[in-house]
A and B are shown apart, each in its own frame.
Chain A
């Protein structure tokens, strides 16, 4: 099945700096990669996603890039703000066998933005 690795596990930045979180996946046929933001004690909220037929997607200060050859995708947050502080999870959707229809998640990154 799909295996997703996420790095770093913690990330600390100053307000206004950029933050980058990277995930690698194992199933070359995976075709959907979401990013979720989870605040303390709450459920994850989708912030951006990308499908395998696209190399980059942007939504205001957030962008995701996908490198299918290297099997990795990254979340980029520019002009970070204290309210960006949260845990971020990446996911990968396998395309075949027992992985079909299921998301596998990375271990999460705790992002702290210092004012």
Chain B
């Protein structure tokens, strides 16, 4: 089955610790994205990558870091500098460059990781 996997499903962190969230896709997509979701809010873009070894900051990148060493993988590290890290984190992927004539193609989401800071 093709798709996006995220692990772990639930993650607990003590204050002051860095944690890394995993995202893997076997859809052969070039672009990958990380979003944060808080109750009552939409999805906010943290980082995105359109090609291996390159990535860009989204709207709320402070306190987060990413790497893109392989096409299939886009891990997100939540650092101790992130002031309010408790949230639901979603990874997505899409083809790139867009094939449809628009500025982006459909993004497909993983099942998410719920991070709780104790």
Contact = CB atoms under 8 A, between A and B. Distances in A.
A49 interface: yes
Given A43-B90, A108-B42, A32 B111 contact: no
B42 A93 contact: no
Contact of B100 (A32, A100, A101): A32
A42 B112 contact: yes
Contact of A103 (B4, B50, B104): B104
Interface range, B side: 20 to 34
A41 B110 CA distance: 11
Interface in B33-60: 40-45, 48, 50, 58
Interface residues of A, number: 32
B106 interface: yes
B90 A102 contact: no
A95 B103 contact: yes
Contacts of A108: 40-42
B103 to A, nearest CB: 5
B77 to A, nearest CB: 20
Given A31-B102, A51-B100, A93-B102, A102 B45 contact: yes
- Give the most central of B40, B43, B108: most A CB within 10 Å: B43
Interface in A1-57: 4, 6, 9, 30-32, 34, 36, 41-46, 49, 51-52
Contacts of A104: 45
Nearest to A5: B42
Contact of A32 (B6, B42, B104, B110): B104
Given A89-B42, A89-B43, A108-B41, A42 B111 contact: yes
A30 to B, nearest CB: 8
Contact of B103 (A32, A42, A45, A89): A32
- Give the most central of B40, B48, B103: most A CB within 10 Å: B103
Contacts of B108: 46
Interface in A78-112: 89, 93-96, 99-108
Contact of B110 (A43, A49, A89, A94): A43
Interface of B: 4, 6, 31, 40-45, 48, 50, 58, 90, 96, 98, 100-104, 106-112, 114
